[in-house]
Amino acid sequence: MSEQNSKVTDAAADALKPNNFLRTIIERDLEQGLGGERRWAGQPGDAAAHAAAPLDAAKIRTRFPPEPNGYLHIGHAKSICLNFGLARDYGGECHLRFDDTNPEKEEQEYVDAIKEMVAWLGWRWDVKQDHSTGSNLYYASNYFDFMYRAAEYLIEAGLAYVDEQTPEDMRANRGDFTTPGTNSPFRDRTPAENLARFREMRDGTHADGAMVLRAKIDMASPNINMRDPALYRIRRAHHHNTGDKWCIYPMYTYAHPIEDALERITHSICTLEFEDQRPFYDWLLARLAEGGLLAQPLPHQYEFGRLNLSYVVTSKRKLRQLVEEGHVQSWDDPRMPTLVGMRRRGYTPQSIRAMVESTGVTKQNAWIDYSVLDGCLRADLEGQAPRAMAVIEPLKLKLTNYAEVFGSLEHRDPCSAPAHPHHAELGQRSFSFGPELWIEREDFLEVPVKGYQRLFPGNKVRLKAGHVVECTGCEKNEAGAITAVLATVVPDTKSGTPGADAIKVKGVITWVAAHEAVPVEFRLYDRLFTVPQPGAGEADFLTEINPQSLRITQGFVEPSLKSVSPEARFQFERHGYFVADRVDHRAEAPVFNKITGLRDGWGK
């Protein structure tokens, strides 16, 4: 990531200062001292590990805790920017923690992809407040030993028991919102019996699912999450980090608070659906602190509303379905709201950060209109993307008096235009004029409609940064389709020469000379869904896929784009913003993706 990138975004974030109740909480906490002295041993650890350590140089600690079971999407960008952004703004540190406590479906491939995308967004997990080296990259599976020890402690303290009820009985005995639960017949076993059973669970004596370890809290609690939640289950599965060491794995609701506490997180920020888990989060940490296992002050959980983007789905299950059933080509298909997909589509990290930062943080699950993202992209690229001419649906334009005007058909008339209209320092683009040019098919009509100012027989237009031409007719094939437009050059009308304005024309069109046009593939992307909230109500989201979400054309770009790098972005005059595809683009076979148009034309 470049220095400059982060400056642009920081300035944008400051200017907007959107509603963010978490800032208020953090400022209050910092004023009040965060509940006591907070020591930090330089790495995660239990109470003993932190006890003799110096005071934490980081004023706050936040974390982004993805489960490495899929690719990050635009919703995750919200959480990433929030956690890393708050740490940056308040002199803190943000941990990148892989929440890899679930052995199934977790893979190294996802770990690598997640790290790459967090870095691409411009965030670093290795910047420390005390300037020490090292990184805040952590894996929850490294805490399995502690989690196991904590479970034994809870058993010994009479706060947990092994339950051998069948899953059906367990469900039935949980009660519901109106009925309190019923105590398990195994609830009153002695700590010694529970400890023995739990060790058998660990040692592989019992079958998968035969029993679970549960917290002993209150089966009549109005909060169902407090009715003796499960802490450990038996699951014989290979884990990507710990291999076959364990056949019992902690439940997410047990593991997550412990991960936060070992890492000395101060503000554990999560999405709203975890609100009902907060009482258990607090209960568990308070018990383990009382037992001397975890250091005070303990982390606190705060919930915020998820980000939902219109015309997009962000459920991992649905995204997987789109890929696996072939509705899109891959996880990084430029129509996907995955960060890899959005990157390939051409969205800049700055535009994504500006979008999520401008939408604030609230207690409601917000729907953000997709046009907000496109607006952020245009705002980012408008001032910096080089301009170029491209012909997306080509039609040949033949200049029938070329040899008379220029002396010979072989003559090439040099033309130029600024790379950016407001940034002279970006230099000039050079190209040339010749007897045959490519123009857009839509720039010619044999019979003009009212108000049409482009090419039709008898009309004059300016070829941008070139000459004025007068249309004289067209050529057709046997089927009657137009194969070329015919025109004559109006002498002494070259852009930038004294005579250029002598002839007034209403239309200006873009073009590329056939002799030097670079053939390219254009991938014209549009929204993947036709409705703002795919799958809402009864609808099957798959039936709401936009059949026109991808159109491919073979066209041309001007010669200045002959050898651009993948991910180079341009504004193609009048067409919009494009990027050289980071996967398929080759100098000898260029591919440009349409990111978005010049203005919001969707639905109009």
Positions marked active-site: 67, 306, 316
Nearest distance from residue 315's CB to ligand ATP, in Å? 7
What are phi and psi for residue 16, nearest 5 degrees?
-85, -40
**Type and span of the H or E element at 400:** none
**How many angstroms separate the CA atoms of 69 and 316, rounded?**
9
Cis preceding-peptide flag for 297 (omega within 30 of 0): yes
Please report whether residue 86 would count as binding ligand ATP according to CB under 6 A.
Answer: no
Which listed range, 67-75, 206-214, 221-229, 528-536, lies at the site for ligand ATP (CB under 6 A)? 67-75
* Closest to ligand ATP by CB, 74 or 524: 74
* Closest to ligand ATP by CB, 201 or 361: 361
Number of Cβ within a 10 Å radius of residue 320: 14
Please report whether residue 362 would count as binding ligand ATP according to CB under 6 A.
Answer: no
578 three-class SS: strand
> What's the gap between Cα 21 and its chain centre?
23
- Which residue from 118, 215, 231, 270 is in contact with ligand ATP, where contact means CB under 6 A? 270
- Which residue from 44, 75, 334, 435 is in contact with ligand ATP, where contact means CB under 6 A? 75
Contact 583, 344 (CB under 8 A): yes
307 is in an annotated binding site: yes
The residue number with the shortest CB distance to ligand ATP is: 75
* Closest to ligand ATP by CB, 65 or 375: 65
DSSP letter at 448 equals: P
Interacting residues with ligand ATP between 146 and 205 (CB under 6 A): none
**How many angstroms separate the CA atoms of 347 and 355, rounded?**
11
* Closest to ligand ATP by CB, 114 or 550: 114
Nearest distance from residue 252's CB to ligand ATP, in Å? 8
252 is in an annotated binding site: yes
**How many angstroms separate the CA atoms of 276 and 298, rounded?**
19
- Enumerate the β-bridge partners of residue 431: 415
Please report whether residue 267 would count as binding ligand ATP according to CB under 6 A.
Answer: no
Interacting residues with ligand ATP between 303 and 322 (CB under 6 A): 306-307, 314, 316
**How many angstroms separate the CA atoms of 516 and 437, rounded?**
9
Supply 548's token pair: 């026109």
Nearest distance from residue 169's CB to ligand ATP, in Å? 27
Please report whether residue 352 would count as binding ligand ATP according to CB under 6 A.
Answer: no
Contact 225, 253 (CB under 8 A): yes
Please report whether residue 97 would count as binding ligand ATP according to CB under 6 A.
Answer: no
Nearest distance from residue 248's CB to ligand ATP, in Å? 21
Please report whether residue 79 would count as binding ligand ATP according to CB under 6 A.
Answer: yes
Q: Give the x-and-dash track for 555-594 against ligand ATP (CB under 6 A).
A: ----------------------------------------
Which listed range, 63-71, 177-185, 340-348, 437-445, lies at the site for ligand ATP (CB under 6 A)? 63-71
* Closest to ligand ATP by CB, 369 or 413: 369
Contact 460, 452 (CB under 8 A): no
Contact 455, 508 (CB under 8 A): no
Please report whether residue 257 would count as binding ligand ATP according to CB under 6 A.
Answer: no
Token pair 């917000």 in the structure block, residue: 366
- Which residue from 271, 310, 371, 432 is in contact with ligand ATP, where contact means CB under 6 A? 271
Residue-wise DSSP of 135-193? --EEEGGGGHHHHHHHHHHHHHTTSEEEE---HHHHHHTT--SSS-----TTTT--HHH
Token pair 């009308």 in the structure block, residue: 493
* Sign (positive or negative) of CA dihedral 448, 453, 459, 462: negative
271 is in an annotated binding site: yes
- Contact residues for ligand ATP, defined by CB under 6 A: 65-67, 69, 75-76, 78-79, 270-271, 306-307, 314, 316
